[in-house]
Amino acid sequence: MVDAEQFYDGFADEYDAMTQFITRLGQQEAVLAALLERYPARNAIDMGCGTGVHTIALDRLGINVAGVDISAEMLTRARQHAAQFESAARFVHGDFLTVLPERSADLIFCLGNSLPHLASVEELTRVLRHWQTLLAPGGHVIVQLLNYEQVLEKKERIVNIRSTDGRVIIRFYDFLDEGLRFNILTVDQRGSEPEHTLRSTHLSPFTHADIEQSARAAGYASTEIFSNLNNAPFVSDSGNYIGVFS
């Protein structure tokens, strides 16, 4: 297994094909537009921004936004997308503890299930405490994670299989005594013989209780958990949990 930086640096070329960037950009712009009606903002930070889909969507909605990611290769793609869509979004190479002193944020996002790359609940609390220092008065932190209680209960190894541009991309789990091994197997069928690449990294399957407790320990006065970015109530079989902290 490799750490998150190596994992995403190695997978950056295939990431957009797997996640369907162009399709997602329009979808996420609509979702974020509705969210901004509930949580008005002028400045935002997109932590774990990847190739920039949420960062660019926020910029297109008129938000002054910076995206932060640990993978330099993912940020290269993000900047290419920003140029393609004539976006003013700014991208910064760094981790969840990166300091952006030039402005505070009305909203800090961490979407796309990025927080489980942290090693422990203690590290999660430290990150959430740091983000609180970056918030403007009245600001909110909004995070999205998969519902790992469901993942651990069902123990379904195959997450997703996608075929695109002569490649088959298979995402699957190994269930470990401590946490999960997240794997991406890419089978490239474009040559005369198929070739494959397997990449693996560790995930911490944080529960919604872990997230709420960490937010309280980090000093947030308000912690709410929803099942999606439309603020639908969280139920045990939700596919995701969304935390909103202020």
Domain that holds residue 80: 4-147+206-245
Together in a domain, 59 and 106: yes
Residue 37 φ/ψ, nearest 5 degrees: -70, -30
Together in a domain, 122 and 154: no
Together in a domain, 133 and 197: no
Together in a domain, 178 and 227: no
Together in a domain, 91 and 191: no
Q: How many domains does the chain have?
A: 2
CATH label of the domain that carries residue 18: 3.40.50.150
Burial code (b: 16+ CB inside 10 Å, e: under 16) for 55-81 equals bbbbbbbebbbbbbbbbebbbebbbeb
Together in a domain, 61 and 34: yes
pLDDT in tens, 156-168: 999 999 888 788 9
Together in a domain, 101 and 181: no
Together in a domain, 32 and 126: yes
Together in a domain, 54 and 155: no
pLDDT by 10s per residue, the chain, length 246? 788 989 888 877 778 777 788 888 999 999 999 999 999 999 999 999 999 999 999 999 999 999 999 999 999 999 999 999 999 999 999 999 987 756 789 999 999 999 999 999 999 999 999 999 999 999 999 999 999 999 999 999 999 998 887 889 999 999 999 999 999 999 988 878 888 989 999 999 999 999 999 999 999 999 999 999 999 999 989 999 999 999
Name residue 97's amino acid.
L
Together in a domain, 92 and 16: yes
Together in a domain, 13 and 89: yes
Together in a domain, 132 and 161: no
Q: What is the DSSP letter of 57?
A: H
The rounded distance, in Å, linking the Cα atoms of 223 and 36 is 18
